[in-house]
Structure 1
């Protein structure tokens, strides 16, 4: 890049050192390197910024980063605690559901056995009543049959006597 500048490029092309130093001095005098009052102003601004920036910008910025990190870490800790609490709540809920399910199954079994006992009692009562009705019906039929036999015997004797009378008269 130095060879692009024509006066400086010409100075670089010389092989001996002394003419090169003379050429650089001549270039500095020509205005390529200015050392004037602005360098003092630039130095003042540089040192002022060197003193002021850490207190005004860097420290508050770093403090802000630290606060952000603390909040993030606090949020992570809170989230971790909340996840743990949620797992405990879910475990308690599942235990309660299991206990309720167990109680419901026990109550269902008790109700079923009670209903079965009532059904068995009703069937036994119905069978007993049916047996009593059948026995009563059989006894009634026997009584009716005996009465019919006696009535038929009496009638048979009457008819037998009438037939015998007709036969004897004839």
Structure 2
């Protein structure tokens, strides 16, 4: 069979009547629409609109907060870099002051050790000179004593 022919067979079998049930259903549908619109649909649409408005507001607020956070982060990083630079300058300043203080202390220590060394040398020289003088003065007596012991008799001084 041809498709058109089969379609025509089915089309002839369907008949649509507009009777009282159709009219009653239409009136019930219209009544439900009229009654449910202010009671259900309008409040529901307002809820949907409010939710959309709040969602968009929250998105807008989140974008603003994100921009503020970006600005704060940029300012924070700039301040951090400034503090780092200042800390580096201060550290270099302290390092230079420490080097100068160390050099001063080392110079003072060298001078003090040289002074102590010179004082010690002078004292040792004086003591050696004193011991030599004492040995020179005591030399005749020591020579007589040694000779007395070697000879076994008293030797005159």
* Distance in 1 (alpha carbons) for counterparts of 2:122 and 2:25: 138
Q: How does 1:31-110 map to 2 (within 5 A)?
A: 35=19, 37-49=20-32, 51-52=34-35, 57-110=40-93
TM-score between the two structures when normalised by the length of structure 1: 0.61
Per-residue Cα deviation, 1:33-75 (whole angstroms, up to 9, x for no partner): 694x444433422443455555555444444333322221111
Per the alignment, residue 97 of structure 2 pairs with 114
Q: 1:96 to 1:58 in 2, by over 3 A?
A: same
- Root mean square deviation of aligned Cα: 3.8
* 1:154 counterpart = 2:152: no
Q: 1:121 to 1:42 in 2, by over 3 A?
A: same
Higher Cα radius of gyration: 1
Q: 1:122 to 1:108 in 2, by over 3 A?
A: same
Per the alignment, residue 9 of structure 1 pairs with none
TM-score between the two structures when normalised by the length of structure 2: 0.65
Per the alignment, residue 143 of structure 1 pairs with 126
| Offset, 1:119 | 2.3
Per-residue Cα deviation, 1:105-163 (whole angstroms, up to 9, x for no partner): 32222223223322222222221111111101111111122222222333335667997
Structure 1: segments with no counterpart, 5+ residues: 1-11, 13-19
